Amino acid sequence: MSEDVGKPLILGDTQAEFTNYISSRRLIRAVKNPMDKCTIVSIFPKEIEEYKVTIEPGRFKLAAGSFEKPAILVVGSSSWWKDIDVEQPMLEIPVSSIQIADSVVKDYCNGMLGCDMANAMPGLFFVLGPHTVLDILTKFKEKLIEVKARQDNWYNILVMLADSLWARSNGNPLVISDEMRLAARSLHRNDKPWLRDFQSVPKVPCKYCGSLRDTAFPICPSCKAIDPAHPLAKEIKFAV
């Protein structure tokens, strides 16, 4: 008998450990409903991947989409296994495609900066049944328009947050996330200064206090010492 038999399954286990544990037990598999299908639709121009270790299949991946060409993923039901007794087969508990699709959408969007899961969120939704991209564009045109409006609202929130962070950080590019830059470009707000490509500023230690300072400026921001080698050092004047 395998040593894994009777081992309690812990949610923190890796997928490999979960697969090995499941394969070591005799299973009672339920008959899958071939009609239990949903289509997840994405107009978010970024690849999406959700991974759920407690169900099988549990990996869901959508390509980057757009309003003109949505990305789709048809999902069926998944399963988890209930351990009744060590001497008894594990019982398969099916999870419907509606629950799976709803979980993928909500788990990805929920918690994202600026998302309220109502009027401002990434352009992700699902519809019942298997559908093609052409079906989505023709049969669900109104839904696409509604979802795009929500995504644009989310984009506007991200742009406003980026403006605030840019001002508060004195132009530090590290405070601007990829989603903020994506939002500005999607809204054609290419005038934003934080959209430019930035290079790291070379800094050297101040020879008076040791703090790192930008060589482009003659005064150390920490100890206020003047670098005599800087070409502007002699032009600095202080009010008496």
Per-residue pLDDT of 99-112, as tens digits, reads: 999 999 999 999 89
R_g over Cα of the chain: 27
Mean pLDDT, range 65-79, rounded to an integer = 95
Mean pLDDT, range 63-72, rounded to an integer = 96
pLDDT of 206: 87
* 226 pLDDT tier (thresholds 50, 70, 90): confident
User: How many residues are present in the chain?
Assistant: 240
Q: Which DSSP string corresponds to 8-65?
A: PP-TTS-HHHHHHHHHTS-EEPPPP-TT--EEEEE--SS-EEEE-TTSBS-EEEE---
Between residues 107 and 171, which one has the greater pLDDT? 107
pLDDT of 10: 47
- pLDDT tens digits, one per residue of 32-43: 888 999 999 999
196 has pLDDT over 50 = yes
**What's the mean pLDDT when you consider all of the chain?**
85
3 has pLDDT over 50 = no
Q: What does residue 100 show for φ and ψ, rounded to 5 degrees?
A: -65, -50
Q: Which DSSP string corresponds to 105-152?
A: HHHHHTT-TT--SSSS--SEEEEES---HHHHHHHSHHHHHHHHHHHH
pLDDT of 32: 81
Share of the chain above pLDDT 70, in %: 84
